[in-house]
Structure 1
């Protein structure tokens, strides 16, 4: 059995679970996911997504959860993020490392280690999908996603400057005057600035909760992700898993503003 505890935010967890499922298939093994509700993502799995049958999801609310500790310390092998990173190349576990894995393996990581473009585990819950549909119906077939990552993401702040996004939107409108833009950002000042500059072209998930330490905030994060994924291409932020996953879900073009 593989026991995986994905860490980090929403998109880090999505790609970790996808990687673990690929590893489980490779081993013809069962997969159990320990979904930790904490300040990074404080929302149960089933509040975000449709039920899944191929993997077992266990919501936990502390790293001291007794069931989690039993699974962790009864495993034959335990690997953390650094060990996973040290034993992969080009996003894939080294073959000698993979073949050395024992029967029961516990992994805690935010790293992807078997890339997968299969996102069928992550179909939004009905209430969330209804809100996504309400937003995307107004975008039409000629829309562009804009993901501006701010707050604590130093690399995105330093590399993906606001004027770069403005220039990209202006260049898109020069060749595609009817384009509409869905903007997802964790900085309301960025959203307001773009609304003022391009009042007829900007669409957002309005009045959203930005805190990830809440169910409402995580619902809004998933809405932003899936609305970005519903566009035809994305102007995204540097080194952002949110940009990467949004583009990968429906295999759309990703242009990193850098």
Structure 2
């Protein structure tokens, strides 16, 4: 019998890509399919898969070919107010899909419908192309499929030498994330650190992960004996910046408890790597 095949192009940033792959590791078992991943560096994550992760037995990594990149997934065209533009976009995507030898295309809106709906859609399909930064199901076990590259693992080991026995993690998302900035103000994280310090916990420390260099400096100066950060390269446009983001993600995951930012996939992914307790601080 012909084996079903899912070709997944995960999109957006690191957390979104890991969640998408994790969920389709689960979904492939529901429809007895092989999972192939096309990891394409772009402005959201400018790094190849091999630079940050080791190969996984749960899926086959394909060469980043042009086909999946040609698929239009932007809402501006897919949900355009003019029906002709929407029709033309769908025709174009269908043509690209067929030229790739695929007989089914799933985008963000399809993936969000969940596994039951996807099973029905894929019932009589054998070559399924998925282009998404979303997950079809929350599947924490799927994150065990990811192992950092040897270089990243080595740097994690060195960085963890600065960890104290009772280490909590704090993730403060800033940059262009307006929702996190509004819902998770800095004082909430300061209050949480003060709460732990007042409890006089033995060998207590804080690992701070943030995309704001000014905040990193602020917390280190305010809590010099407590807060530990990694001297990373900020930004997603460089290879070094992405490798440091993976390193920071796994350091955060290795703490006793994570205090995260509202509506940030980074905090949620860190929780799922080792099953670390997560509390989102928000107003």
In 2, distance between residues paired with 1:172 and 1:71? 57
Between 134-143 and 38-47, report the one with greater CA deviation. Answer: 134-143
Instruction: Output the aligned Cα RMSD.
Output: 1.8
Alignment match, 2:119: 98
Q: CA deviation at 1:116?
A: 1.4
In 2, distance between residues paired with 1:131 and 1:177? 26
Alignment match, 2:82: none
- Name the SS of the counterpart of 2:194 in structure 1: helix
Q: CA deviation at 1:71?
A: 7.6
**Count of residue correspondences:** 248
Alignment match, 2:101: 74
Any idea what the Cα deviations from partners look like across 1:74-95, whole Å, max 9, x if unmatched? 211101112222x23xxxx2x2
Q: Within the alignment, does 1:241 sit opposite 2:265 as a pair?
A: yes
User: In 2, are the aligned partners of 1:72 and 1:78 still within 8 Å (CA)?
Assistant: no
Between 139-148 and 225-234, report the one with greater CA deviation. Answer: 139-148
Q: Within the alignment, does 1:167 sit opposite 2:191 as a pair?
A: yes
Q: CA deviation at 1:64?
A: 4.1
Alignment match, 1:60: 64
| Runs of 4+, deviation exceeding 3 Å | 69-73
TM-score (norm. length: structure 1): 0.91
Q: Within the alignment, does 1:43 sit opposite 2:47 as a pair?
A: yes
Q: Give the unaligned 5+ runs of structure 2.
A: 72-95
In 2, distance between residues paired with 1:29 and 1:128? 31
Q: CA deviation at 1:11?
A: 0.9
User: In 1, are the aligned partners of 2:173 and 2:180 still within 8 Å (CA)?
Assistant: yes
Q: Within the alignment, does 1:5 sit opposite 2:5 as a pair?
A: no
- Name the SS of the counterpart of 2:39 in structure 1: strand
Q: CA deviation at 1:99?
A: 2.6
Q: Give the unaligned 5+ runs of structure 1.
A: none
Q: CA deviation at 1:253?
A: 1.2
For the pair shown, the structure with the greater C-alpha radius of gyration is 2
User: In 2, are the aligned partners of 1:71 and 1:106 still within 8 Å (CA)?
Assistant: no
Q: Within the alignment, does 1:183 sit opposite 2:208 as a pair?
A: yes
TM-score (norm. length: structure 2): 0.83
In 2, distance between residues paired with 1:72 and 1:142? 55
- Name the SS of the counterpart of 1:218 in structure 2: helix
